[in-house]
Amino acid sequence: MMLIRPVQLGDVADILHLSSKTGIGLTSLPKDEAHLRTRIERSLATWEGTLDKADQGYLFVLEDTQLGKVVGVSAIEVGVGLSEPWYNFRLGTLVHASKSQNIYKPVPTLFLSNDHTGYTELCTLFLDPDYRHGKNGQLLSKVRMLFLAAFRDRFSRKVIAEMRGVSDDNGHSPFWDAVGRHFFGMEFAQADRLTGLGQKSFIAELMPKHPLYTDLLSEEARAVIGQVHEQTAPARAVLESEGFSYQGYVDIFDAGPTLEAEIDALRAVKESQLLRATITPSRNSETEGVYLVANENYQNFRALLVNSDDDIGQLTLDAATAQMLGVNAGDTLRAVNLFPQAGRNNASRQLSQAS
């Protein structure tokens, strides 16, 4: 069975192993044991309530309970930019005009922005390539939205998700080569690693302070602005199916898009239901509906997938599933259909690729 739960200190070895498979571009999961251990400790402190909002972050793991190992991670940052500046580029337009020459020329530009300061962020989504099948990717990504719904008062009004931009296996990023390399004086992979380790002061010290005219960039660099890495396209589709959209903000390193949404407008938040658990020794799981189900226990949050009829006035669990969720008969559960009703078949085809 595949189970979502809060991270534990004992997971550090499994997460370190996962980080060795991420490649360049996933800055929030560097292959560095000391940093990962600190990240886990910060998550534990968040659940314990000992951190200010500026420092709070939740890290979830996907555990293969049969093997007892962590095979995926995903995370929520409570409020970005509250303890250190949060940067991205905003696509905009400057107009150059000359009445005497009868010329009116809109010029596309990139403006340095801190517009998302204070927003909640979905981040650090990575699934072991060996587990990119079935519904694992959907479970790992969407559980965060169910957590937002369950503990809504702990988060901001808006949520963002930075998507990995275009780069190759050797760390070549067309946007970085056209922009970042000239300002930062280092390779994309090095800047990516420093950011992942939390060493971000160089960004404020070295990044361009004035609008950039995108027409002056190479054609290759312009083509990747707002585009995602091929391995990230399914993850983007999952978020967009839940209500996220691209509003013209991109990453300052690789120009990957930042998606955003009102938390209360997310499908999983609007459509999730509070139900009473009914437990039976065993049950037939061959039903059409697939539901993401979680307990309402903040300190011992658990979530997994349950097959059930589409119309679930109540939720019947077998004894093993109830034990995995840590619930008894009559306890409150939160459930949402895994797929939006519209386009369910398209979402199903994307499951094996989400990462």
Q: Using DSSP, state whether 241 is helix, strand or coil.
A: helix
The whole-angstrom separation of Cα 197 and Cα 212 is: 27
**62 bridge partner residues:** 4, 72
Q: Identify whether 133 is a catalytic site residue.
A: no
**CA distances, 273 to each of 242, 268, 292, 330 (Å):** 16, 9, 11, 15
Selecting among 17, 35, 172, 229, the annotated active-site residue is 229
Phi/psi of residue 103, each to 5°? -115, 130
Q: Using DSSP, state whether 244 is helix, strand or coil.
A: coil
The whole-angstrom separation of Cα 299 and Cα 43 is: 12
* Selection from 346, 334, 327 nearest residue 142 by Cα: 334
DSSP 17: H
The whole-angstrom separation of Cα 189 and Cα 296 is: 40
Phi/psi of residue 272, each to 5°? -65, 145
Point out the residues that are catalytic.
229
